[in-house]
Amino acid sequence: MTNSQKVTLYFVRHGETQFNVERRLQGFADSPLTERGIAQAQAVGRGLADVEFKAAYCSESQRVIDTATHALGERKIPLSTDVRLKEMNFGALESLMRSEITARYGNILETLFSITDLNLAAPEGESYSQLYSRTCLAIDEILKNHEREGGNILVFSHGVTIGNYLMQLTKSAKYLHHDNCSVSVISYLDGEFQVERVADTSFRERGGPLTS
């Protein structure tokens, strides 16, 4: 007999950033939220207003911390940062515009983002397998922190980090793009995961319109 309770994780990708607009590759590199990104974060926060959360966790990247802060607003939910929730490290490709990457490295992005091999990595970067391993360490710790009492937990992170985690967790052959401030939901109980939503923009849309 177990005393564990169901934990439901709400994964939220950060809002739009300056590098997103400029089409620069942004992994460990960081750039500030745009006005639209701030508005997206506020909107998803309003869209999740009816959900009671026990705690929130976020990547150490400032764009994610800012997204979490705007989304939480006045809600008194403890927020913890975790370096293991950061975006994939794109190594030598960090901060480069996609056009610059193509000029220097040819079709490397097409190969990298085809995700046909989980050992694929950018030059000097990390692979999808390595990314999944560190993400799992963070998520497993979060689940252990909350499985005794159960409840809903917010996890603010990045598009590839969230998408790769869900793809490998479910052993799916398909990676689903996560729009800015989209929400993915999985529940966990007694070693079993249940995927409830993937890359869902309805919470952000429900909290709209984007006023900033």
14 is catalytic: yes
Q: Which of 159, 181, 207 is nearest to 34 (CA)?
A: 181
Which tokens belong to 23? 């089409």
Q: Residue 52: how many CB atoms within 10 A of its CB?
A: 10
Tell me, what amino acid is at 131? Answer: L
**SS3 at position 157:** strand
87 is catalytic: yes
- Residue 207 contacts residue 45 (beta carbons within 8 Å): yes
Cα separation of the two ends of the chain: 50
- d(CA 41, CA 16) in angstroms, rounded, equals 9
- Which of 16, 87, 94, 147 is labelled catalytic? 87
Which tokens belong to 19? 């590098």
- d(CA 180, CA 120) in angstroms, rounded, equals 24
Residue 195 φ then ψ, to 5°: -85, 125
Cite the active site residues: 14, 87
